[in-house]
A and B are shown apart, each in its own frame.
Chain A
Amino acid sequence: MSVLNSNAPAGPLADKWTKHKNDIDLVNPANKRNIDVIVVGTGLAGGSAAATLAELGYNVKTFCYQDSPRRAHSIAAQGGINAAKNYQGDGDSTYRLFYDTIKGGDYRSREANVYRLAEVSSNIIDQCVAQGVPFAREYGGLLDNRSFGGVLVSRTFYAKGQTGQQLLLGAYSAMNRQINRGKIKAFNRHEMLDLVIVGGKARGIIARNLVTGELERHSAHAVVIATGGYGNVFYLSTNAMGSNVTASWKIHRRGAYFANPCFTQIHPTCIPVSGDHQSKLTLMSESLRNDGRIWVPAKKEDAEAIRAGKLKPTELKEEDRDYYLERRYPSFGNLVPRDVASRAAKERCDAGFGVNKTGEAVYLDFAAAIERYGKEQAAIQGNHNPTKEEWLALGEKVIETKYGNLFQMYEKIVDENPYKTPMMIYPAVHYTMGGIWVDYNLQTTIPGCYAAGEANFSDHGANRLGASALMQGLADGYFVLPYTIGDYLADDIRTGPISTETPEFEEAENNVRTTLEKLVNNNGTKSVDYFHKRLGKIMWNEVGMSRNAEGLKKAMADIKALREEFWKEVRVPGEMDSMNPELEKAMRVADFLELGELFAKDALDRNESCGGHFREEYQTEEGEALRDDENYMYVAAWEYKGEPADAVLHKESLDYDNIEVKTRSYK
């Protein structure tokens, strides 16, 4: 075990980033023309990085498995993006955003990175507005804000429930400008299947053209991985069907350390599972907790009656409802962080108070908000004694303006009208805080290989706050990576083009070809999904919202056995030299089957509870997470050694010089 160095610059926290930018090497504009950069993944982090690098003059190649960069899963982010603008004058500041993020992450993120993130957050909003991102505005024409979980200020900028879509289209438009100039070559419907290392440096990738099945060699002076998170290791998650760990896992196998894989976010407000055919889960934005109140029946018999269809939630009197978040956490109420809200829902449902047929759902109720807004609107219109019909109609209108698309989505999926009856929600896998270990420059342990956005591990610690993922993706892509990568590329100005006709490319291509051949020629009998679903069950049951040593050991053994069965029994129809979605899936699931075991190993190794990682053995009397700062205030970065169980642990210790480490409390 070694100790990892974050390479964070010395000096006062607030000056680190400015000082670092002044100290690092720059590449002269004429030389940038001779340098190629590969960006894998075109979501918020990859898209914004590619556009900015191309603007600076580098030759950029982008890769995405979708048919267009605009379809990356950042597009599905709903609620908003944080920035310490303090437009509301409610006491917000860079320090406060930094503090909230560190605390929200349960003191397991890197101080210098988080401060930088808070520092550049304001620039992101300025940049996006200049690009034409249509954020929500107030009647005065200025930008509107709302509030998210785990904070006491309103700093979230939004575009209805489609903020991710609008920000991604902004980054995509910036890419389009560079594509039009010929500075970005976009390889869509392409999937990276290996990293090529030449002389110890990342120098290219092997990609498969998903339409023709052809394997292609692409070289560059640096490779950026921005391929998102690995939530689909659980099979069911809010991720897109194609979201995968493959690019991250391939670089891990080539020497990049994988950090804190067990830090995964289970989001509290998702539409509950409806049956075995379910292919994915749908998030209902956290912004709904601004106005929605979460409750279950206070009496078990009422919960049973509701499950049996004998009682309607709207028939339950106020005193028979248990608004358990407001009860347990009076100061943050329904706006506690996600990990806390998820565990509290699970606690109530496990205790028998769940409200759908499977007993795994709680209510998110807008009746109080509709009444409040309705009466307010009536008063504005001069009606100080509105009838129920009048305030209902006005209140529903306000809710529709704020969350219309989410309510429509809910109604289409569940077939119930959430304006009239409370929504049913349950936690689901949503985001992965863990990922590829990077230093302050976002460089992995492989020189020349960088990781940005959800694919890296650095900023969210053990739990991410709402509206912070978009902020981090764009901070990395627009404002951090384009500077820090120059420090590395400054040494490459005389290198010249990298040849793909070398033994290293040959070896990597053969390696990919062998795996593909093995899969299409395997004479198994079971579909890829069969294995993926079983992996998901193991992960959810043993490595999900609460974990214990025994279960984790079992999960490791079960996943290893499942992986062996997969390679013997999987059946992949079709050929490798044509469009073959089953083959794409098989390659991704093969990697999930390795990651899952490392995930469980990491969770087993971390003998404490923190953020989204909850070990049953380590909790307070009230059932809150119990950290062990003395022994576990570190980043666990794993080195690949063949079998996931044999991975070697490296530690980066976390030091907090500017913030007092406390027990996280939202009470």
Chain B
Amino acid sequence: MNLTLKIWRQKDAQSKGSMQTYSISGVEGDMSFLEMLDVLNTELIDKGEEPVVFDHDCREGICGSCSLMINGEPHGPDRLVTTCQLHMRKFNDGDTIVIEPFRAKAFPVIKDLMVDRSAFDRIQHAGGYISVNTSGNTIDANAIPVEKVDADASFMAAACIGCGACVAACKNASAMLFTSAKVSQFALLPQGKVEATRRVLNMVEQMDKEGFGNCTNTGACEVECPKGISLENIARMNREYLAASVKG
């Protein structure tokens, strides 16, 4: 396959960026999208140019490091995959592919396609935990049975990889899907109920402070989420938030 790549290049957070065009040949269908970028980078290094910087690590779709807006979609055209598991067989010979960083006020660009998603960490610092010390003397794990449907729903919410595709997909750059997934994981388990009021208030407050936009329920986040995190989580968080606000 021969491809034309239009890639966002930006030296650092302070500099102005721009789209640059590169052509690449010999791309094979069973390469992942990032392996295709590896090939481009090797060519750039061999020419004495600086390679394109992008976040990546596990390359098996679980660490949440990789990002990229590919032809206007977070993680590209395939569904339920991260960029590292997007394969070039989804593209055709002669295609032009536009590659940009995830764009959001709360995700400033560090360099090229790499953005700063530490706002997500700060939302979790605000309440993404159950306050239990490591004593080793907590009650036996089977002492609290959890209904299978709740345990499974909690797991489905906890499967969020924190990649930020939901924010990048949203026209308002809202982080509601991410925040609600974390709130839901704990809200669905008996262990998480004790701190539920404080948790949802603190996490939502931090989310707003970070400069994420509001949710208008368009559902783009759910469509683009590589892990299939459901919009139901947002509804659940809204209920939790309302109840918590009343309780104060």
A140 to B149, CA, bound (A): 11
Q: How far is the CA of A579 from the CA of B11 in the complex (A)?
A: 9
Which residues in B have their C-beta under 8 angstroms from that of A132? Answer: 129-130, 154, 185-186, 189, 191-192
B59 (CB) vs chain A CBs: closest residue: A280
Closest to B186 in A: A132
How far, in Å, is A224 (CB) from chain B's closest CB?
15
Q: Does B131 contact A (CB under 8 A)?
A: yes
Look across to chain A and name the residue whose beta carbon is closest to the beta carbon of B13: A211
The answer to whether A415 and B132 touch (CB under 8 A), given A169-B158, A279-B59, is no
Complex: chain B residue closest to A68, CB-CB: B121
Are B117 and A68 in contact (CB-based, < 8 A)?
yes
A70 contacts across to B, CB distance below 8 A: 64, 121, 162
A67 to B55, CA, bound (A): 9
List residues of chain A with CB within 8 A of the CB of B148. 137-139, 141
Q: B78's closest neighbor in chain A, by CB?
A: A412
Contact A176 B62 (CB under 8 A): no
Known: A134-B189, A173-B130. A412 touches B28 (CB 8 A): no
B134 touches A71 (CB 8 A): no
Looking at the assembled complex, report how far the CB atom of B40 sits from the nearest CB atom of chain A, in whole angstroms: 11
Chain B interface helix/strand/loop/mixed: loop
Task: Give 1 or 0 for each of B167-196: 1 = CB within 8 Å of chain A CB.
Answer: 000000000000000000110010110000
Complex Cα gap A186–B118 (Å): 11
Give how many B residues have a beta carbon under 8 Å from the other chain's beta carbons.
82
Judging by beta carbons under 8 Å apart, are B50 and A409 in contact?
no
Nearest-neighbour CB distance to chain A for B18, whole angstroms, equals 18
B81 A67 Cβ-Cβ under 8 A: no
Q: Is B146 an interface residue (CB 8 A)?
A: yes
State whether A130 touches B130 (Cβ < 8 A): yes
- The reply to whether the CB of B208 lies closer than 8 angstroms to some CB of chain A is no
Which of A134, A140, A165, A478 gathers most chain B CB within 10 Å? Answer: A134
Find the A residue at minimum CB distance from B57.
A240
Find chain B residues with CB under 8 A from A582 CB.
45, 51
Is B38 located at the chain interface by the 8 A CB criterion?
yes
Q: Determine whether the beta carbon of A73 is less than 8 Å from that of B57.
A: yes
Residues of B within 8 A of A75 (CB): 58, 62-63
Judge whether A351 is part of the interface by a CB distance below 8 angstroms.
Answer: no
Does B6 touch A at the CB level, under 8 Å?
A: no
Nearest-neighbour CB distance to chain A for B235, whole angstroms, equals: 19
Q: Which of B28, B85, B118 contacts A188 (CB 8 A)?
A: B118
Task: Tell whether, in the assembled complex, residue A159 and residue B155 are in contact, meaning their CB atoms are under 8 Å apart.
Answer: yes
A479 within 8 A of B: yes
Q: How far is the CA of A75 from the CA of B158 in the complex (A)?
A: 12
Q: Are B132 and A66 in contact (CB under 8 A)?
A: no
B136 touches A278 (CB 8 A): no
Give complex CA distance A180, B53 in Å.
Answer: 31
B118 near A67 with CB under 8 A, answer yes
**A385→B39 CA distance, assembly (Å):** 55
Min distance, Cβ B17 to any Cβ of chain A, angstroms: 14
Give Cα A85 to B35, complex, Å: 43
CB <8 Å contact, B131 and A177: yes
Inside 8 A of A283's CB, which chain B residues have their CB? 60
Write out the residue numbers on chain B whose beta carbons fall within 8 Å of the beta carbon of A131: 129-130, 132, 191
When distances are taken between beta carbons in the complex, the residues of chain B under 8 Å from A415 are: 29-30, 87, 89
Any chain A CB within 8 A of the CB of B80? yes
Asked if B142 is at the interface of the complex by the 8 Å CB criterion, the answer is yes
Interface residue? A120 (CB, 8 A): yes
Residues from chain A with a CB closer than 8 A to the CB of B223 are: none
CB distance from A159 to the nearest CB of B (A): 6
Contact B85 A409 (CB under 8 A): yes
B231 on the A face (CB < 8 A): no
CB distance from B79 to the nearest CB of A (A): 10
A126:B136 contact, CB within 8 angstroms: yes
Residues from chain A with a CB closer than 8 A to the CB of B233 are none
Determine the chain B residues whose CB is within 8 A of the CB of A141 once the complex forms.
Answer: 145-148, 151
Question: A48 — which chain B residues lie within 8 A by C-beta?
Answer: 134
Indicate which residue in A67, A143, A211, A242 contacts B141 across the interface (CB closer than 8 Å): A143
CA distance A129 to B133 in the complex (A): 12
From the candidates B50, B53, B58, B124, name the one contacting A240 in the complex (CB within 8 A).
B58
A186 to B189, CA, bound (A): 28
Supposing A176-B129, A579-B111 touch, asked if A71 and B136 sit within 8 A by C-beta, the answer is: no
Contacting residues, chain B, for A188 (C-beta < 8 A)? 118, 121
Residues of B within 8 A of A160 (CB): 155
Bound Cα distance A238, B57 (Å): 11
Is there an interface contact between B159 and A162, defined as CB atoms closer than 8 Å?
yes
> With a CB–CB cut-off of 8 A, which chain B residues contact A127?
132, 134-136, 138
A191 to chain B, nearest CB (A): 13
- The CA of A309 and the CA of B162, in the complex, are separated in Å by 41
Contacts of B117 in A (CB 8 A): 67-68
Q: Mark A116-147, 1 if CB is under 8 A from B, else 0.
A: 00001001011111111011111111110000
Known: A129-B141, A130-B130. A66 touches B57 (CB 8 A): yes
Q: Which residue of A lies closest to B133 (CB)?
A: A55
A529 within 8 A of B: yes
The verdict on B12 contacting chain A, using a C-beta distance below 8 Å, is yes
11 A-B contact pairs sorted by A residue (CB < 8 Å): A52-B134, A67-B117, A70-B64, A73-B63, A127-B134, A159-B155, A160-B155, A165-B62, A166-B158, A279-B34, A529-B42
A-B contact sample (13 more), CB < 8 A, given A127-B135, A409-B61: A67-B117, A123-B137, A126-B138, A126-B139, A127-B138, A141-B151, A169-B158, A174-B129, A180-B125, A412-B81, A412-B85, A579-B110, A581-B53
Residues of A near any B CB (own CB < 8 A) = 48, 51-52, 55, 66-68, 70-71, 73, 75-76, 85, 87, 120, 123, 125-132, 134-143, 159-160, 162, 165-166, 169, 172-174, 176-177, 179-180, 186, 188, 211, 238, 240-242, 274-275, 277-280, 282-283, 408-409, 412-413, 415, 478-479, 482, 525, 527, 529, 571, 573-574, 578-579, 581-582
